[in-house]
């Protein structure tokens, strides 16, 4: 226990120090994307890993976070930080509206229902003129400041903001693992009938897990909007993005605290680097590599790469 705490402190320390080593924008950007996806994947892990409800619609929360922030900033001049909170509130609302009927569905029916919800959101946003329809929204360039959540001269502030978000997500996930909620969620995953007979309100705890998942995904949407300064439906709520979150968790280790972090550190560099170095010649190669990785992992090592580090947990 003590040892793993030291490893964690070392890991965070290294992450915090890395931008001082890397001065080029690209490695910094790469690490920002890794941490952003790690945060979102921790969010997915709470509903998909701990609770065992495979959601292919989590990108919808990312989109809600991004769009809420952008719309509030452009139309009302509200700071993105408040937009982040508003995005969370709307995402939780969406999670409850969607979860309430969908959590009655079992297995595949649930997974496909989340795909349907995600795709319906995509169609709505692609046709909704108020949010820029298919063209999307350009976030106005404002003066560089923390309150404006815009930094143009360097990526460093973005780096530390996303690092803080990642630590927040890890803390939330850790707190769930150690609390009664965590035991309830795992009971729901492993034996729903048994959990029900013990008096656990399954529907309620699934909704709580989904809401937490929604919050962690939504804040990433806000960050993305302010980081890239341009959002459109297929960059913020595409089905492929939801799938990527599951893949990251699967690669790292499903239902494990650091599984999503390990997964993001493997997956994001793999896709970003193949895209950069192989360019259009290598179109699809990243997909081929990671699909083979997923297939092999799902067949031979469902516990993910994290189990390599933790020999005791096999």
Fill in the per-residue mask, 205 to 244: x = in contact with other proteins (CB under 8 A), - = not in contact: ----------------------------------x---x-
- Of positions 30, 74, 90, 115, contacts other proteins by CB under 8 A: 115
> Which residue lies nearer to other proteins by CB, 177 or 286?
286
Q: Pick the piece of the chain touching other proteins (CB under 8 A) from 37-45, 124-132, 162-170, 219-227.
A: 124-132
Contacts with other proteins: how many residues (CB under 8 A)? 43
> How far apart are alpha carbons 216 and 249 in whole angstroms?
15
What sign for the dihedral angle of Cα 206, 122, 274, 10?
negative
Rounded CA-CA distance 16/59 in Å is 27
SS3 of 128, please?
coil
Nearest CB to other proteins, comparing residues 27 and 269: 269
User: What residues from 27 to 56 belong to the interface with other proteins (CB under 8 A)?
Assistant: 52, 54
3-state secondary structure of 137: strand
- Please pick, from the candidates 74, 85, 116, 270, the single residue that binds other proteins as defined by CB under 8 A: 116
Provide, rounded to whole angstroms, the least separation between the CB of residue 51 and other proteins.
12
By beta-carbon proximity to other proteins, the closer residue of 187 and 246 is 246
> What distances in angstroms separate CA 133 from CA 121, 129, 130, one per listed residue?
12, 5, 7
Structure tokens of 70?
A: 């952008």
Site for other proteins in 269-298 (CB under 8 A): 280, 282-288, 290-292, 294-295, 297-298
Q: Are 98 and 55 in contact (CB under 8 A)?
A: no
CB-CB neighbours of 122 under 10 Å:
20
- Smallest CA-to-CA distance from 31 within 45, 48, 11, 47 is with 11
97 binds other proteins (CB under 8 A): no
Distance in Å, CB of 72 to other proteins, minimum:
26
Nearer to other proteins, 56 or 227 (CB): 56
The yes or no reply on residue 119 touching other proteins (CB under 8 A) is yes
Q: Which stretch binds other proteins (CB under 8 A): 116-124, 191-199, 216-224, 263-271?
A: 116-124
Is residue 69 a contact partner of residue 62, using CB atoms and an 8 Å limit?
Answer: no
Q: Which two tokens stand for residue 216?
A: 């962690």
Residue with smaller CB distance to other proteins, 31 or 47: 47
Which residues, at least 6 apart from 241, have a Cβ–Cβ distance to it below 8 Å? 59, 62
Nearer to other proteins, 55 or 217 (CB): 55
Q: What CA–CA distances, in Å, run from 141 to 28, 85, 154?
A: 21, 21, 15
Instruction: Please choose, out of 118-126, 161-169, 176-184, 194-202, the segment that lies near other proteins by the rule CB under 8 A.
Output: 118-126
Decide whether 124 or 164 has the Cβ nearer to other proteins: 124
Strands of 188-273, DSSP E: 230-231
CA distance 239 to 234: 9
Binds other proteins (CB under 8 A): choice among 79, 126, 203, 235 = 126
Check residue 18 for interaction with other proteins (CB under 8 A).
no
Residues 113 and 179 sit within 8 Å (Cβ to Cβ):
no
Binding site for other proteins (CB under 8 A): 52, 54, 101, 104-105, 107-109, 111-113, 115-117, 119-120, 123-124, 126-127, 239, 243, 246-247, 250, 254, 280, 282-288, 290-292, 294-295, 297-299, 302
């Amino acid at each position: 226990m003590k040892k793993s705490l030291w490893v964690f402190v070392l890991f965070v320390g290294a992450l915090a120090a890395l931008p001082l080593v890397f001065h080029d924008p690209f490695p910094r950007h790469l690490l920002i994307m890794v941490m952003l996806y790690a945060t979102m994947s921790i969010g997915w892990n709470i509903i998909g890993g701990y609770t065992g409800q495979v959601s292919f619609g989590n990108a919808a929360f990312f989109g809600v976070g991004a769009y809420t922030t952008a719309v509030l900033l452009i139309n009302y001049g509200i700071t993105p930080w408040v937009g982040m909170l508003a995005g969370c509130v709307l995402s939780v609302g969406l999670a409850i509206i969607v979860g309430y009927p969908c959590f009655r569905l079992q297995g595949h029916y649930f997974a496909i229902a989340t795909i349907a919800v995600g795709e319906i959101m995509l169609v709505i946003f692609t046709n909704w003129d108020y949010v820029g329809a298919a063209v999307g929204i350009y976030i106005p360039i404002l003066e560089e400041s923390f309150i404006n959540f815009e930094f143009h001269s360097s990526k460093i502030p973005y780096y530390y903001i996303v690092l803080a978000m990642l630590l927040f997500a890890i803390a939330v996930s850790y707190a769930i693992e150690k609390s009664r909620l965590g035991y309830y969620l795992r009971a729901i995953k492993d034996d729903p009938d048994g959990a029900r007979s013990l008096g656990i309100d399954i529907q309620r705890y699934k909704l709580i897990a989904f809401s937490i998942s929604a919050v962690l995904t939504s804040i990433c949407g806000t960050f993305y909007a302010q980081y890239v300064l341009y959002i459109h439906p297929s960059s913020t709520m595409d089905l492929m993005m939801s799938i990527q979150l599951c893949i990251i968790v699967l690669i790292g280790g499903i239902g494990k605290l650091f599984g999503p972090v390990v997964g993001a550190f493997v997956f994001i560099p793999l896709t970003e680097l193949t895209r950069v170095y192989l360019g259009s010649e290598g179109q699809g190669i990243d997909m081929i590599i990671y699909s083979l990785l997923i297939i092999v992992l799902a067949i031979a090592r469902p516990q993910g790469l994290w189990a390599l580090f933790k020999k005791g947990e096999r």
